[in-house]
């Protein structure tokens, strides 16, 4: 096929005119092409070259070799040279020899347009006969050979990547900015174009338009425009990207972000342009080819190669994989190829890409091929704190495993014990790596297990009741006479006690700590300041004082905290949001263990034992809190024997709180697998798990004391829990007096004064309700109550007051057999003592009982009881203000309604009973009960309207009405 040719120059006059015109045209070239080509063809000589050059000087003028796209989709490939003077002697003539390539056609043999640079087929003058010689092929000139282009690329190495980056942008966007290349020789521009065509895909290179020279780049239509330094500058025109190879690089010149451009530059400077052959222009396969042939690449290009290989692993030959892995590991380890920088594309993606490739190849190719990459990824992740790969036993060869174990052992041991990392995260992953490499990390396991346990239960239990806890006097082994040992030391500052950055729940109060050693179970003690204050200080009454906690390490299995005061509030918290950094996850509202922890529990016996031990210590320190946090977590129950506290917490976490609490308590002790007498701390743990929010009931406490004995409670530190059960029980609980008596009997010398007085009152209340032979009821009660070093709890006070009132009113206590014989009347001296004392609490209890159903029932059914109550409530008027108010209220509000409703027969029985007492009582009753006389009698009884009697009445006297009873 002969190519259509055009010759254009300044010619003498002829049929087509004179001046610049087409002087030779191949047949068949459309006129539209000629008209458009005439607009494109032109040549302006450089201004800095001679205006009238001789033949030798003409050789220095640039050659404008151009490939321009035509409007019909074809191409115009032209070569313009300066010829000096024309036929008339006028300077400025040039000659253009052009080829017209219609749309869809190419040069013979599919040659790229740039390969026709300076081909011998180009003519510098019009053919003599005006007919272009047929051209069926273009022989290369040899000026753009491989070695010459490699040498040129190396001479422009610092500018290659930036040029290729602009070329990529231009190739990807048809409307992209034109590239202006400034060189002193148009031949150098041609070499730039040859470099560009080599890196582009073949199809895209055929479409590249260019010109090696123009004096007016703003008017050029080509994508790559070559100019000389003397050409018109483009300034800051945004349409152009200028690469001035005649000047020094500017201050903003630096590494480019485009990894593909950087790879292309490295391949050219490495002298391997053959790698571009057959590539699609994608970064991945190009980077793979470069790495396999030993071309050093930077990190982002290596990452691209790894990603591409992972996606195409089945199609990559084993030899290529072997060479690629060797290059990736070597260059990644040494940081090769970083001299170009990363310019906004940091190498952070390379470890992830290599890890993904390693995971993709693991098990899919022979271990000998993939093991070096797996070893490199593992070592880089361990040293660089990256994501650790999940490797199996067959991922590494024995030699590589031994080498990694030798090199990574110190880093692994340090990482497993790193306290700054979440324990369920990197340290646990490093432990798996250590197991894979047979690196012994046993020394770091206790600390890791402790942090895992603290993260697993998470959070700090709050203690809203801590501020309300009354201060109590220490007694017993840690009382005033106790001298701390060398390992103890009490602190009451805000920084004392356990480090709050670790486990906060070893019984520490708000800001007070004790450094007492808790290594032995007996360190809990029985006195205040023993473990009872720390272990059972989560509801009022437990503990020995406010805010004194333990500074013991909670990771010790026995440390339950010592010192006065309570710990933090304990209870189920499975519905709470996990604190940040604990590693716990929410699953439909349930707290679950991280899978990594469960895997470690099932697959690492040494860690499992250490973790269960740490959790057992935390469970012993705060059982209810730990049980709540472990509810539904999926942690397996450890085998027996061992870890009794943890097993009890896990059993509680899976069970409800309803049902027989004593049965649950004994079930927990059976779960512990150890006798509470041999290990008293399990008794304390069971206490907190069964009664996390308050003390046991009085009946439950009495049974626990009788079943287990005082020694077990004394050693476990649960004595104060039993005391609180008695003090906090409702006033109508019949089991309280018996419990109080047992506590006074079992802990005779150990009870603090603040506990002893209320228990004595409760015991005395039982004696009063049981009609025991006791004397001076009122004085005894007031003496015990008022002599207590601390205010007596309200339930205890109410119980003894009510018991005394029932004894004075001769009514049975609640729960008494209704068929029991009536109680004997109270001595008159007790009522007189009550009236004289005027104690508001006693009087209020007396009135409360007198208004009760039992008194009302007796008044309605026993006339003699009506008479007795009238005698009592009409006695001792005026001098005792509190009693005066109480008795007149009872006469008016309690007795009168009953008397008004009595039948005549009962009325007579009442008067007969009063007559037996004395005529004065009967007269007073009749006057009080006379219709219409209530107001007058009340006035007389209270002394209103008469002079003050200065002499107190005798005991039992009833003051007669004024005027001798006459109206």
Q: What is the DSSP string of 51-106?
A: SS--HHHHTTS--EEEEEE-TTS-EEEEEEEEEEE-TTS-EEEEEEEEEEE-TT--
Residue 711 belongs to a domain = yes
Helices 367-384 and 426-437, interaxial angle, to 10°? Answer: 140
CA distance 762 to 782: 13
- For 261-359, where are the E strands, in sequence order? none
On whether residue 160 sits in a domain, the answer given is no
Residues 894 and 858 in one domain: yes
Judge whether 806 and 759 are in contact, CB under 8 Å.
no
Strand partners, 771: none
Backbone angles phi, psi at 77, to 5 degrees: -100, 115
Domain contains 556? no
Residues of the chain with pLDDT under 50: 339-346, 462-583, 588-589, 933, 935, 938-939, 942-967
Residue 241 three-state SS: strand
**Shared domain check, 888 and 806:** no
ω into 74 cis (within 30 of 0) = no
Residue 244: in which H helix or E strand, if any? strand 240-244
Tens of pLDDT along 694-746? 889 888 889 998 888 999 888 888 898 899 988 888 888 888 899 899 998 99
Furthest-apart CA atoms within the chain: distance in Å: 173
CB 808 within 8 A of CB 826: yes
List 24's β-bridge partners, or say none: 7
The pLDDT assigned to 251 comes to 64
Distance between CA atoms of 429 and 117, rounded to whole angstroms?
A: 62
- What single-letter DSSP state applies at residue 493? S
**Is 529 part of a structural domain of the chain?**
no
Check if the beta carbon of residue 564 is closer than 8 Å to that of residue 529.
yes
What is the C-alpha to C-alpha distance for residues 761 and 731, in angstroms, rounded to an integer?
12
Check whether residue 122 and residue 25 sit in a common domain.
yes
pTM: 0.63
Is there a contact between 591 and 628 (Cβ–Cβ < 8 Å)? Answer: no
Is 61 part of any domain?
A: yes
Find out whether 112 and 86 touch, Cβ atoms under 8 Å: no
Looking at the domain assignment, is residue 24 inside a domain? yes
Does residue 668 lie in a domain region? Answer: no
Let me know whether 783 and 861 are in one domain: no
Contact call for residues 205 and 193 (beta carbons, < 8 A):
no
- On whether the CB atoms of residues 680 and 535 are closer than 8 A, the answer is no
| Residue 773: CB atoms within 10 Å | 5
CB 202 within 8 A of CB 188: no
- Given 83, 114, 140, which residue is the final one in a domain? 140
Record the tokens describing residue 711, joined without a space.
């020694």
| Domain edge (last residue) among 112, 140, 168 | 140
- Do 776 and 868 share a domain, yes or no? no
In this structure, what DSSP letter does residue 894 have? I
Q: What is the pLDDT of residue 591?
A: 61
Q: Which residues of 527-546 are buried (b: 16+ CB within 10 A; e: fewer)?
A: bbbbbbbbbbbbbbbbbbbb
Nearest to 592 by CA among 613, 656, 601, 433: 601
DSSP 705-760: HHHHHHHHHHHHT-HHHHHHHHHHS-TT-TTHHHHHHHHHHHTTTTS-HHHHHHHH
pLDDT tens per residue, range 608-645: 899 989 999 998 888 888 888 888 778 888 876 789 99
Q: Are residues 815 and 723 in the same domain?
A: yes
Question: Is 384 in a helix, a strand, or coil?
Answer: helix
Same domain, 760 and 860: no
The residues, any chain, with a CB within 8 Å of residue 609's CB and separated by 6 or more, are none
Which residues make Cβ contacts (< 8 Å) with residue 360, sequence separation at least 6? 310, 313
The answer on 797 and 857 residing in a single domain is no
In this structure, the answer to whether residues 809 and 859 fall within a common structural domain is no
Q: Are residue 716 and residue 785 in the same domain, yes or no?
A: yes
Number of domains making up the chain: 3
Backbone angles phi, psi at 387, to 5 degrees: -70, 130
* 531, 679 contact by CB (below 8 A): no
Within a domain: residue 125? Answer: yes
Nearest to 336 by CA among 249, 251, 270, 250: 270
Residues 30 and 65 in one domain: yes
**Structural domain range at position 868:** 852-929
Distance CA 86, CA 428 (A): 87
Residues 900 and 860 in one domain: yes
């Amino acid at each position: 096929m002969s190519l259509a040719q055009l010759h254009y120059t300044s010619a003498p006059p002829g049929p087509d005119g004179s001046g610049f015109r087409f002087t030779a045209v191949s047949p068949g070239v459309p006129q539209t092409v000629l008209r458009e080509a005439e607009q494109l063809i032109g040549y302006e000589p450089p201004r800095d070259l001679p205006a009238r050059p001789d033949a030798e000087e003409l050789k220095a003028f640039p050659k404008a070799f151009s490939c321009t796209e035509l409007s019909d989709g074809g191409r115009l490939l032209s070569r313009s040279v300066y010829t000096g003077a024309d036929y008339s002697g006028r300077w400025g003539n040039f000659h253009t020899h052009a080829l017209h390539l219609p749309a869809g056609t190419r040069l013979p043999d599919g040659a790229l347009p740039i390969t026709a640079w300076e081909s011998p087929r180009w003519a510098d003058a019009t053919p003599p006969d005006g007919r272009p010689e047929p051209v069926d092929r273009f022989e290369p000139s040899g000026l753009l050979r491989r070695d010459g282009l490699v040498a040129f690329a190396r001479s422009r190495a610092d500018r290659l990547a930036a040029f290729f980056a602009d070329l990529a942008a231009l190739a990807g966007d048809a409307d992209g900015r034109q590239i202006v290349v400034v060189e002193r020789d148009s031949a150098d521009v041609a070499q730039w174009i040859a470099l560009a065509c080599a890196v582009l895909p073949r199809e895209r290179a055929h479409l590249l338009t260019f010109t090696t020279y123009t004096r007016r780049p703003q008017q050029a239509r080509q994508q790559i425009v070559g100019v000389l330094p003397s050409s018109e500058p483009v300034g800051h025109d945004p349409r152009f990207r200028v690469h001035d190879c005649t000047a020094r690089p500017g201050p903003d010149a630096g590494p480019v972000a485009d990894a593909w451009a950087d790879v292309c530059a490295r391949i050219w400077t490495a002298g391997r342009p053959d790698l571009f052959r057959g590539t699609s222009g994608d970064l991945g396969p190009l980077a793979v080819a470069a790495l396999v042939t030993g071309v050093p690449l930077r990190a982002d290009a290596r990452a691209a190669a790894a990603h591409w290989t992972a996606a195409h692993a089945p199609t990559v030959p084993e030899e290529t994989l072997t060479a690629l892995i060797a290059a990736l590991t070597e260059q990644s380890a040494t940081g090769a190829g970083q001299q170009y920088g990363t310019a906004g594309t940091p190498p952070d993606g390379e470890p992830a890409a290599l890890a993904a490739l390693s995971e993709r190849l693991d098990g899919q190719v022979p271990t000998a091929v993939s093991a070096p990459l797996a070893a490199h990824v593992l070592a880089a992740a361990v040293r660089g704190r990256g994501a650790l790969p999940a490797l199996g036993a067959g991922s590494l060869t024995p030699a590589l495993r031994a080498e990694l174990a030798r090199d990574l052992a110190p880093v692994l041991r340090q990482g497993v014990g790193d306290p700054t990392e979440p324990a369920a995260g990197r340290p646990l992953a490093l432990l798996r790596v250590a197991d894979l490499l047979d690196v012994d990390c046993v020394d770091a396991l206790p600390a890791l297990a402790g942090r895992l346990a603290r993260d697993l239960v998470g959070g700090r239990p709050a203690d809203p009741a801590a501020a309300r806890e009354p201060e109590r006097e220490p007694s017993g082994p840690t009382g005033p006479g106790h001298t701390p040992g060398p390992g103890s030391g009490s602190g009451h500052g805000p920084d004392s006690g356990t480090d709050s950055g670790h486990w906060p729940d070893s019984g520490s109060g708000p800001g007070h700590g004790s450094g007492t050693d808790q290594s032995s179970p007996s360190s809990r003690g029985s006195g205040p300041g023993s473990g009872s204050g720390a272990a059972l200080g989560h509801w009022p009454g437990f503990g020995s004082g406010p805010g004194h906690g333990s500074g013991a390490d909670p990771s010790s299995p026995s440390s339950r905290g010592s010192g006065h005061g309570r710990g933090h509030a304990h209870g189920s918290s499975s519905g709470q949001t996990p604190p940040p950094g604990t590693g716990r996850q929410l699953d439909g509202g349930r707290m679950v263990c991280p899978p990594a922890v469960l895997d470690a529990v099932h697959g690492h016996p040494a860690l499992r034992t250490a973790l269960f031990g740490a959790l057992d210590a935390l469970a012993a320190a705060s059982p209810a809190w730990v049980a709540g946090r472990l509810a539904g977590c999926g942690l397996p129950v450890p085998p027996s024997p061992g870890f009794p506290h943890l097993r009890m917490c896990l059993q509680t976490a899976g069970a409800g709180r309803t049902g027989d609490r004593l049965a649950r308590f004994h079930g927990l002790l059976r779960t512990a697998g150890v006798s509470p007498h041999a290990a008293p701390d399990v008794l304390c743990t069971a206490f907190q798990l069964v009664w996390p929010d308050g003390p046991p009931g009085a009946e439950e406490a009495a049974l626990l004391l009788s079943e287990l004995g005082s020694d077990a409670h004394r050693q476990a530190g649960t004595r104060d829990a039993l005391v609180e059960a008695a003090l906090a029980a409702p006033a109508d609980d019949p089991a309280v007096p018996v419990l109080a008596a047992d506590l006074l009997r079992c802990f005779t010398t150990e009870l603090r004064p603040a506990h002893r007085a209320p228990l004595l009152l409760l015991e005395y209340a039982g004696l009063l309700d049981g009609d025991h032979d006791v004397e001076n009821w009122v004085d005894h009660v007031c003496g015990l109550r008022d002599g207590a070093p601390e205010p007596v709890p309200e339930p205890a006070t109410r119980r003894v007051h009510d018991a005394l009132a029932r004894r004075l009113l001769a009514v049975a206590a609640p729960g008494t057999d209704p068929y029991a014989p009536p109680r004997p009347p109270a001595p008159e001296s007790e009522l007189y003592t009550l009236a004289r004392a005027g104690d508001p609490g006693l009087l209020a209890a007396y009135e409360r009982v007198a208004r009760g159903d039992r008194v009302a029932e007796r008044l309605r059914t026993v006339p003699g009881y009506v008479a007795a109550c009238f005698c009592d409530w009409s006695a001792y008027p005026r001098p005792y203000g509190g009693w005066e108010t109480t008795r007149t209220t009872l006469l008016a509000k309690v007795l009168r309604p009953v008397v008004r409703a009595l039948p005549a027969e009962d009325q007579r029985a009442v008067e007969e009973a009063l007559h037996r007492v004395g005529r004065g009582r009967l007269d007073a009753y009749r006057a009080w009960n006379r219709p219409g006389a209530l107001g007058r009698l009340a006035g007389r009884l209270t002394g209103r309207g008469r002079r003050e009697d200065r002499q107190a009445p005798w005991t039992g006297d009833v003051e007669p009405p004024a005027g001798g009873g006459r109206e």
